[in-house]
Amino acid sequence: MEKKRILTGDRPTGRLHIGHYFGSLKNRVKMQNEGIYDPFILIADVQALTDNFNNPEKVRKNVREVAMDYLSVGIDPEKTTIYIQSLVPETAELTVFYANLVTIARLERNPTVKTEIAQKRDIFGESVTYGFLGYPVSQAADITAFNGELVPVGEDQLPLIEQCREIVRKFNSIYGEVLKEPEAVLSNTKRIKGLDGNEKMGKSLGNAIYLSDPEDEVNRKVMSAVTDPNRIKKDDLGNPDICMVYYYHKLFSTDEECKTVCSECKEGKRGCVACKKQLAQNINKELNPIREKRKYYEEHPEIVDKILKEGTAKAREEAKRTMKKVKKAMMLDYFED
């Protein structure tokens, strides 16, 4: 049986954190190991530049950081193709062709893009760049150049997949059935809140625990997590449902521990400091094997580079095959090659 092609990716704008871990990485590792998929992961440096065009150092540095994060959580380059977006220029070419199949009004209506533009006023001011407004078009190229069939995503990415599907249908209706229409797979994982209780964990919010954070950093961050503000003394009755420490216990601690944490907190029998220490310990236990593996790759950058080079070469072959079909369909195949 043909293995189904999965496409996922991340913008390399920072190291990956536990929000990524629960939100996508664990799921990617699981799907990779099921043996019925052929996963591709792109490190979307070109897309990262759409809102970081003035900070190329940041993007450059984080390409390898993100690659090491992937490898350290168990993305296996034998099973998953990891590649760098800018090194597959075919996707840029495809983006130009797709640009004719999308209206500006449609892009402006894309809810994800709309939200992001509103959040990025500091970069874009009153008028967004052509590149950022058009990144869904480039993402459609990222997916279709590799015949992506399944795209596991969080809810926020759904409008991008829908936009991709529209482009595919339009392309196929004009030039013939060449492209595969991808399907979004909504991962059952949820978005992880930040240490401060913010709905989103993120670098710019300063509320993230990174997979590569050393133990003492995790300890320090957990100590700063927001707890029930009405609980001042240990014997005050607490409400774990508004406590970020309990929220993370549910991710990192056993069911039994969670039950104890919950009941002791409600009864005022548990101090927040002890509760945080226990949580930090459990987080560190989960992160230790990841740190171990990461350390290995940090000490062997040549291995990381080899994996990226080989993955990119394989991805490029695939994109070239698609481009050939696309150009033929668009009557751009002027000469035999």
- Which stretches of the chain bind ligand TRP, using CB under 6 A? 7-11, 42, 44, 47, 139, 142-143, 151
Q: Shortest Cβ distance from residue 128 to ligand TRP (Å)?
A: 16
By beta-carbon proximity to ligand TRP, the closer residue of 92 and 223 is: 92
> What's the rounded Cα separation, in Å, for the pair 75 and 32?
8
SS3 category, 27: helix
CA–CA dist 230, 225 (Å, integer): 15
DSSP 38: E
Q: 183-186 and 37-43 as β-strands: parallel, antiparallel, unpaired?
A: unpaired
The distance of closest approach from Cβ of residue 42 to ligand TRP in the complex, given in angstroms and rounded to an integer, is 6
**Cβ 261 to ligand TRP shortest distance, Å:** 32
Residue closer to ligand TRP by CB (options 11, 165) is 11
Q: Which residue's beta carbon is nearest to the bound ligand TRP?
A: 9
Nearer to ligand TRP, 86 or 227 (CB): 86
Give the angle 47-107-5 at the CA atoms, nearest 5°.
55
Q: At what angle do helices 272-299 and 215-223 cross, to 10 degrees?
A: 150
Smaller CB distance to ligand TRP: residue 6 or 329? 6
- Half-sphere exposure of residue 47, counting CA atoms within 13 Å on the CB side? 23
Nearest CB to ligand TRP, comparing residues 10 and 318? 10
CB of 150 to ligand TRP, least distance (A): 10
Nearest distance, CB of residue 310 and ligand TRP, angstroms: 20
Q: How far is the CB of 160 from ligand TRP (least distance, A)?
A: 6
Q: Return the closest-CA partner of residue 106 out of 167, 173, 182, 180.
A: 167
State how far the Cα of 111 lies from the Cα of 157, in Å rounded to an integer. 9
Nearer to ligand TRP, 156 or 267 (CB): 156
Q: Residue 284 Cβ, how far from ligand TRP at the closest point, in Å?
A: 27
- Cβ of residue 8: shortest distance to ligand TRP, in angstroms? 5
Q: Helix, strand, or coil here: 85? A: helix
Number of Cβ within 10 Å of residue 309's Cβ equals 13
DSSP-H helix ranges across 129-228: 130-133, 135-144, 158-175, 215-223
Q: CA 69 to CA 29: how far, in whole Å?
A: 12
Which two structure tokens, joined as six digits, stand for 85? 């977006």
Nearer to ligand TRP, 39 or 77 (CB): 39
**Of 51 and 228, CB closest to ligand TRP:** 51
